[in-house]
């Protein structure tokens, strides 16, 4: 098996001392300040003079800001995280101009997650101990899993989440990531809510939100949110209540992420080709009846995990156009039904074939993806040329809510 020399981030929990926590909090504040100042300067230069400001220009601005009395406190923290903040801003603008992202926004002091990035000149990693710039002692890290042998981190990112937990992420090459042996297995996946995923093999993967511990955490979250709503604004009690809500949210998110990691790892290991639908989650969230259930399903995160793992291990992920009528198409004879209401979970085609709605959709998705892979066929249906721009074979009526059951 061939080694791909993949760079991989290893994330660990750590427990800072009071001095380390204070230093990191100062660093987070300075990173936010520099990012916002640079963003304001770039926005002003464009609005007044139609001038684009480069990273080098903002770096020169940072040097000037440090010399002013008002911003002299920027000298008290390591300069590397401040420079990295400017690089991140440059990346954000690059993505914006390439139409891959929205316009960069200012960082809020009340942001749920704070972070700072250190490069090799600003930390020392030796004998399993990590010491950051401006700190006398190494961080107390809980090594929940080993780093690759002889690992040399190129970047270290320190963060604190809304629940107050501290994390450190070390980016280093992982020689254990190897291309898997090729296989002829392929699978189509239909995303849903009643079942999180339905595979073309007929397997249905349960949605964790139906499990007992998930329902128990939902009840705790509702109770904690009610308590939070009763606290006076800007009070210590409100801050404690907010932290309690954040801890429940973190527990739910951690469990969801762990579940998705296990599913995506298994799918990538077992299949050479994986076919999914190109769902627009942002549009689906406009359905306020199902918005929370769709968010909990985390389809976007599932796709992200699936794609980078497939790239690591030499697998192929194919996306089928969201307008492909996977639910209405008979996987046996190819007949497309005129309508398929969401409450219909099982249906019988004129050819006599009886279909489970989600399994049938997954099989159609697989067939369409394999057609694209084999001959470059277009799985997008013919579109009407009227002003409505609506598809004549749109899958689920006025909204592209593929595989979403009615509750």
Catalytic positions:
190, 277, 358
CA 308 centroid distance within chain: 11
pLDDT at 55 over 70: yes
Domains of the chain in start order, with CATH, are 6-174 (no CATH), 179-207+256-407 (3.30.420)
Give the chain's mean pLDDT. Answer: 85
Q: Dig out the tokens for 146 from the structure.
A: 């080993």
pLDDT at 277 exceeding the cut of 90: no
pLDDT tens digit sequence for 7-39: 899 999 999 999 999 999 999 999 999 999 999
For residue 403, the model assigns a pLDDT of 37
pLDDT tens string 219-273: 999 999 999 999 998 899 998 999 999 999 999 889 889 999 999 999 999 999 9
The 10s digit of each residue's pLDDT in 69-112 is: 999 999 999 999 999 999 999 999 999 999 989 999 999 988 77
pLDDT for the residue numbered 95: 94
Question: How deeply is 155 buried, as exposed, middle or buried, from its count of CB atoms within 10 A (0-12, 13-18, 19+)?
Answer: middle
* Structure-block tokens of residue 298: 């985390």
pLDDT band at 132 (very low <50, low <70, confident <90, very high): very high
pLDDT at 40 over 60: yes
Find residue 79's DSSP bridge partners. none
Note the pLDDT of residue 401.
34
Least confident of 136-145, 274-283, 347-356, 384-393: 384-393
- Which candidate, 116, 106, 111, places its Cα nearest to that of 30? 116
Mean pLDDT to the nearest integer, 128-135: 94
Average pLDDT over residues 322-345: 81
What pLDDT does 213 receive? 78
Question: Residue 367: which residues within 8 A CB-CB, separation 6 or more?
Answer: 188, 331
Question: What pLDDT shows up at residue 315?
Answer: 93
The pLDDT of residue 387: 33
The whole-model pTM stands at 0.80
Q: Are strands 155-160 and 141-142 parallel, antiparallel or unpaired?
A: unpaired
Chain segment 357-376, per-residue pLDDT in tens: 888 888 888 888 888 776 65
Please state, for a pLDDT cut of 90, what percent of the chain lies above it: 53
State mean pLDDT over 307-314. 92
* Residue 74: exposure state from Cβ atoms within 10 A (0-12, 13-18, ≥19): buried
């Amino acid at each position: 098996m061939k080694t791909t020399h993949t760079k991989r981030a290893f994330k660990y929990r750590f427990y800072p001392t009071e001095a380390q926590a204070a230093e990191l909090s100062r660093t987070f504040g300075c990173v936010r300040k520099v990012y916002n100042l640079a963003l304001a300067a770039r926005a002003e230069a464009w609005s007044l003079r139609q001038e684009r400001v480069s990273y080098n220009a903002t770096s020169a601005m940072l040097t000037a800001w440090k010399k002013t009395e008002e911003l002299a406190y920027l000298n008290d923290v390591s300069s590397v995280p401040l420079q990295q903040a400017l690089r991140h801003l440059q990346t954000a603008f690059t993505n914006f101009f390439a139409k891959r992202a929205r316009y960069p926004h200012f960082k809020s002091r009340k942001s749920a997650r704070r972070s700072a990035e250190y490069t090799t000149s600003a930390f020392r990693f030796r004998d399993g101990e990590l010491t950051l710039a401006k700190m006398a002692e190494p961080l107390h890290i809980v090594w929940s899993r080993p780093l690759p042998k002889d690992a040399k981190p190129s970047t270290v990112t320190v963060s604190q989440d809304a629940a107050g937990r501290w994390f450190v992420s070390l980016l280093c090459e992982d020689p254990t990531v190897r291309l898997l042996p090729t296989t002829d297995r392929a699978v189509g996946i239909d995303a849903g809510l009643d079942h999180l995923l339905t595979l073309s093999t007929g397997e249905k993967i349960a949605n964790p939100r139906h499990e007992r511990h998930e329902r128990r955490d939902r009840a705790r979250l509702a109770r904690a949110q009610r308590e939070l709503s009763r606290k006076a604004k800007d009070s210590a009690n409100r801050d404690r209540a907010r932290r309690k809500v954040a801890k429940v949210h973190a527990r739910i998110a951690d469990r969801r992420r762990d579940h998705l990691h296990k599913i995506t790892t298994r799918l990538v290991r077992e299949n050479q080709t994986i076919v999914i639908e190109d769902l627009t989650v942002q549009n689906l969230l406009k359905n306020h009846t199902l918005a929370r259930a769709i968010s909990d399903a985390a389809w976007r995160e599932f796709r992200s995990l699936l794609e980078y793992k497939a790239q690591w291990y030499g697998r192929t992920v194919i996306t089928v156009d969201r307008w492909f009528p996977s639910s209405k198409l008979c996987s046996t004879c190819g007949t497309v039904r005129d309508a398929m209401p969401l409450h219909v979970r099982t249906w019988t085609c004129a050819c006599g074939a009886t279909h489970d709605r989600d399994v049938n959709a997954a099989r159609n998705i697989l067939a369409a993806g394999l057609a694209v892979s084999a001959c470059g066929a277009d799985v997008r249906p013919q579109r009407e040329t009227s002003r409505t721009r609506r598809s004549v074979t749109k899958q689920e009526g006025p909204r592209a809510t593929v595989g979403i059951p009615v509750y």
